[in-house]
Structure 1
Amino acid sequence: MTAGGKAAPGDSWPEDLLGPLRNLPAHRKLWVALSGGLDSSLLLHVVAERHPDVTALHINHQLQPNHLQTEQACRALCVHLGVPLEVRRVSVVPGRGGLELAARDARYQAFHELLQTDDLLLMAHHADDQAETVVFRLLRGTGVNGLGGMPVSRPLGAGALWRPWLGVARERLFQVATERGVSWVEDPSNQSDVHDRNYLRLEVMSGLKQRWPGLLQRIARSARACAESEQLNRRLAELQWQSCSDDRGRIELPRFASLGALERVNLVRWWIAHRGFPVPGLARWEQVLGELIEAAPDKLPELQGEGFAIRRYRQHLYLVPDFQVPETPCLLEPDTPLCWGSSGWVLMLTPGPEWAGQACPEIRVSTRQGGERLRLADGQPSRVLKTWLQEQGVPPWERAALPLAWGPGEGADDLVAVGDLWCSERYSEGAHAAGWRLVVKRDCD
């Protein structure tokens, strides 16, 4: 536990710390992320003075030997300030990005799950954190989006995140905390240069600040310039999306090809991020997109990402989320939605408007196995399903995931629905023939 001198009266906090907290966004509930360290402990002191309804939130990663002592110190601080405390213990499983990234992901997942609509979470990131973030991302080879640093605010779960002290140096926070008797817990890992961020702070940033005393302000200016550039990039992409996309959320290839190479990259990166997927860190974006455009018509080029792929088919680009479909057929139960794997299809069998107590037909759902035939109307000859799907312009990957519904027809089991592309008149509209109506749709429709 580290502490300063005698605590000062509550309204004596300096204006450079109070000012950014005077006009917080409207919110339902106010939270402060409390790690137990210097920055967040001081933030809770200052916020609690002006907002007695604040609630503290401590995420215990259970990584450090003193994690229980840190949690107890947070509880003691909140009792002292009369502030409610929510504690969440999380499990951190290191992945390819290392322990630091895994801990961050676990922490933000807890935030995401906890925040409700219009909740506001305050975090004590400061100017040194911002500078370290920008330099760290520079060393990783990030673009202008990453070099824009941490935003003051952004959506988080159903609520929002707010960083009021991004313009305040850690040295200033330390000065105020020690003068005003704020107690905090030192994280023992902060003094180890094993982790990249610690090495950057301990071995690199300290020397840079000695050489260039105005380093934090200079980096902040560069970060703002990069953030502004990224805003312009997003705005350009939004405008070009309006001219290059269709009502099915696809990019029309001829219009896309007419853009400049950098504009194509900007638009696709925006498209990926807008759909909620991580943007791949490709070194040759222009080359990859050029291959999507220029590949022979009989080819199916694609760009693979984490959880999705961008694919080309018949002069269109599709952003296709990864999905799975059941390997075995399923039976529909009356009035019970059937989610067709993770492909986004939902099927429902309900009584039709002219239902007269007819027994529920046995409707079996499966994927294509090959050789299926389709009879579009009674009296018409059957057609090969594969050929009919090609005529409808259904891409190959969607054909493989389409739910096919089989049910009683004129004779043996017949194909009675193909996704939302076609449904037998016996089970559609008024369902006058079977008495039961079959509804097939995408869950995002």
Structure 2
Amino acid sequence: MWIALSGGLDSTLLAHLAAYCYPTPHDVRAIHVNHQLQPNADATERFCRQLCEQLAIPLTCRRVDVQRSGGRAGGLEESARQARYDVFEQLLEPSDLLLMAHHADDQAETLLFRLIRGTGVRGLAGMPRKRPLGKGLLYRPLLDFSRGDLSGWATAAGLPWIDDPSNADARFDRNFLRQRVLPLIRSRWPELNRRISHTARACGESVFLADRLAALHWEQCADHCGRLVIERLAGLCPVERKNLITWWIRGAGYPEPALRDWGQVIGELIGARQDGAPEIVGEGFAIRRFSDRLYLVPATPEALPVDAELSPQRPLRWGEWSIRLIPASEQTLPNPAIRVSTRQGGETFQPTPRGYDRPLKKWLQEQAVPPWERARLPLVFSVEGDQQRLIAIGDLWCSGQYSGSAPAAGWRLIVERDCD
């Protein structure tokens, strides 16, 4: 169990609580991220080291270089947050738990900040109590308590902490809300935290139901390889289409793009001509239409090797593909020379044993293989001396010499694509 330790009031109290509740050595660890942005950054790191030494908690310190986004305070704030979470994701292993000290005042601040930015129901669900993070899990055990509660307990216990000077800088959006806006609202509505917590729970329930609905629509509209069928998608109403597509994007690990008119964009995807090429472009991905399907395509797909040898009974990973060569009988045969490559241009093959050679390029067009996938198809060649013969094209075609119940070559070639 890890404690995200900044050295401030909230996380210092959380570290003491964790050390008290889990006194067994090595049950609790702490991580301090030094953003190197404040004059007291090194002093804060030293404080965290001394605190963890006192509590017998192993501490990991990581220094990060924060990218300043155009000199804007809000951009710097978000960059620092992203750098911090990047460290957490790299650190966590399976079954690891990261505790963060966010409290009810942080939740109120978050919801108001997101409301002003124009978020939807998902944003108004606030910070979840728990969520996956990297290979582990993030958990916020103090969300039910106010900062006043935490301050009172820490002061009563005589706990020291270090305040971040940037918390007093009202140029940062969250600080402006915390210092000037929220106190005014609480003076009129003292029960603000409770009311906002109720709103967050209600929005969270709506998000849960929207995701459940999207999962049901996915079963109706997706094919067996995770692509949306245009005709089925068109049967949904515009709100259901958006809900399904944004659920698809988030499920693939990408942020939801900010589009002004989702209905219009999705309508253009559905109504495009067969040879049209509309797309939704997001951060790290694109949703493209080809033929009667929608594809979610990474902007920078995994790099493929240029060339590789395929050895019998030793599976070869080729991007999203797995390629194997296994004996078709118990008879001992010499190992064939098999080579795997991507398209170089000008390839031909013989689709049928007694047919004519055909250009691979034209055949792929006839098979309606999307253009961006043609360059990633593994081409498997049988090599004899200086000659090579195409014997498989991804999982689309395989020569009878290496397929069927009794392949003539004595070896069976299996090409499979990861299809989640």
Q: Same fold (TM over 0.5)?
A: yes
Distance 1:437 1:148 in 2: 53
> Where does residue 212 of structure 1 map in the other structure?
189
State how 1:244-255 maps to structure 2 within 5 Å. Answer: 244-255=221-232
1:273 to 250, 271, 286: 250
Distance 1:356 1:264 in 2: 56
1:409 deviation in Å?
6.6
State how 1:11-22 maps to structure 2 within 5 Å. Answer: none
Instruction: Please tell me whether residue 73 in structure 1 is matched to residue 47 in structure 2.
Output: yes
After superposition, the C-alpha distances for 1:21-59 in whole angstroms (9 at most, x for unaligned) are xxxxxxxxx222211100011112223222213222222
Q: Is the Cα contact below 8 Å between 1:310 and 1:317 reproduced in 2?
A: yes
Query: Does the C-alpha gap of structure 1 residues 174 and 295 become closer, same or farther in structure 2, counting only changes over 3 Å?
Result: same
Distance 2:216 2:10 in 1: 41
Distance 2:100 2:304 in 1: 46
Q: Which runs of 5+ in 1 are unaligned?
A: 1-29
1:124 deviation in Å?
0.8
1:330 deviation in Å?
2.0
Query: Does the C-alpha gap of structure 1 residues 94 and 433 become closer, same or farther in structure 2, counting only changes over 3 Å?
Result: farther
Query: Does the C-alpha gap of structure 1 residues 37 and 372 become closer, same or farther in structure 2, counting only changes over 3 Å?
Result: same
Q: State the secondary structure of the residue aligned to 2:375.
A: helix
Query: What is the letter of the counterpart of residue 57 of structure 2?
Result: V
Query: Does the C-alpha gap of structure 1 residues 429 and 110 become closer, same or farther in structure 2, counting only changes over 3 Å?
Result: farther
> Where does residue 361 of structure 1 map in the other structure?
337
Distance 1:175 1:327 in 2: 58
Query: Does the C-alpha gap of structure 1 residues 72 and 229 become closer, same or farther in structure 2, counting only changes over 3 Å?
Result: same
> Where does residue 401 of structure 1 map in the other structure?
376
1:289 deviation in Å?
0.4
> Where does residue 56 of structure 1 map in the other structure?
30
> Where does residue 393 of structure 2 map in the other structure?
418
Q: Is the Cα contact below 8 Å between 1:330 and 1:366 reproduced in 2?
A: yes
Larger RCO of the pair (alpha carbons < 8 Å, separation 6+): 1
2:172 to 195, 198, 207: 195
Question: What TM-score do you get using the length of structure 1 for normalisation?
Answer: 0.83
Q: Is the Cα contact below 8 Å between 2:224 and 2:419 reproduced in 1?
A: no
1:399 deviation in Å?
1.9
Distance 1:444 1:64 in 2: 47
1:405 deviation in Å?
3.0
Q: Is the Cα contact below 8 Å between 1:60 and 1:67 reproduced in 2?
A: yes
1:316 to 293, 318, 321: 293
Query: Does the C-alpha gap of structure 1 residues 55 and 362 become closer, same or farther in structure 2, counting only changes over 3 Å?
Result: closer
Q: Is the Cα contact below 8 Å between 2:310 and 2:340 reproduced in 1?
A: no
1:226 to 166, 191, 203: 203
1:257 to 216, 227, 234: 234
State how 1:73-222 maps to structure 2 within 5 Å. Answer: 73-95=47-69, 98-222=75-199
1:145 deviation in Å?
0.5
Instruction: Please tell me whether residue 34 in structure 1 is matched to residue 5 in structure 2.
Output: yes
Q: Is the Cα contact below 8 Å between 2:13 and 2:150 reproduced in 1?
A: yes
1:357 deviation in Å?
6.6
Query: Does the C-alpha gap of structure 1 residues 440 and 63 become closer, same or farther in structure 2, counting only changes over 3 Å?
Result: farther
1:60 deviation in Å?
2.1
Superposition RMSD on alpha carbons, in Å? 2.9
Q: Is the Cα contact below 8 Å between 2:10 and 2:102 reproduced in 1?
A: yes
State how 1:309-388 maps to structure 2 within 5 Å. Answer: 309-324=286-301, 329-332=306-309, 334=311, 340=318, 343-347=319-323, 358=334, 361=337, 363=339, 365-367=341-343, 369=345, 371-388=346-363
1:232 deviation in Å?
1.3
Distance 2:239 2:338 in 1: 54
1:410 deviation in Å?
11
Query: What is the letter of the counterpart of residue 404 of structure 1?
Result: L
Q: Is the Cα contact below 8 Å between 2:225 and 2:419 reproduced in 1?
A: no
1:104 deviation in Å?
1.7
Query: Does the C-alpha gap of structure 1 residues 188 and 172 become closer, same or farther in structure 2, counting only changes over 3 Å?
Result: same
Q: Is the Cα contact below 8 Å between 2:340 and 2:378 reproduced in 1?
A: no
Question: What TM-score do you get using the length of structure 2 for normalisation?
Answer: 0.88
1:391 deviation in Å?
3.7
Q: Is the Cα contact below 8 Å between 1:334 and 1:350 reproduced in 2?
A: no
Distance 1:428 1:78 in 2: 63
Distance 1:353 1:321 in 2: 40
Query: What is the letter of the counterpart of residue 11 of structure 2?
Result: S
Distance 2:398 2:46 in 1: 62
Q: State the secondary structure of the residue aligned to 1:401.
A: coil
Distance 1:254 1:409 in 2: 47
Q: Is the Cα contact below 8 Å between 1:138 and 1:147 reproduced in 2?
A: yes
1:240 deviation in Å?
1.4
Q: Is the Cα contact below 8 Å between 1:338 and 1:348 reproduced in 2?
A: yes
Query: Does the C-alpha gap of structure 1 residues 242 and 360 become closer, same or farther in structure 2, counting only changes over 3 Å?
Result: closer
Distance 2:237 2:65 in 1: 46
Shifted more, 227-236 versus 321-330: the winner is 321-330
Query: Does the C-alpha gap of structure 1 residues 432 and 239 become closer, same or farther in structure 2, counting only changes over 3 Å?
Result: closer
1:95 deviation in Å?
4.9
After superposition, the C-alpha distances for 1:197-245 in whole angstroms (9 at most, x for unaligned) are 2222223222222233222222222222211111111111111111112
Q: Is the Cα contact below 8 Å between 1:355 and 1:436 reproduced in 2?
A: no
1:81 deviation in Å?
2.5
- How many residue pairs get aligned? The number is 413
Distance 2:355 2:330 in 1: 26
- Of all paired residues, the percent bearing the same amino acid is 51
After superposition, the C-alpha distances for 1:120-144 in whole angstroms (9 at most, x for unaligned) are 2211101111111111111221111
Q: Is the Cα contact below 8 Å between 1:354 and 1:435 reproduced in 2?
A: no
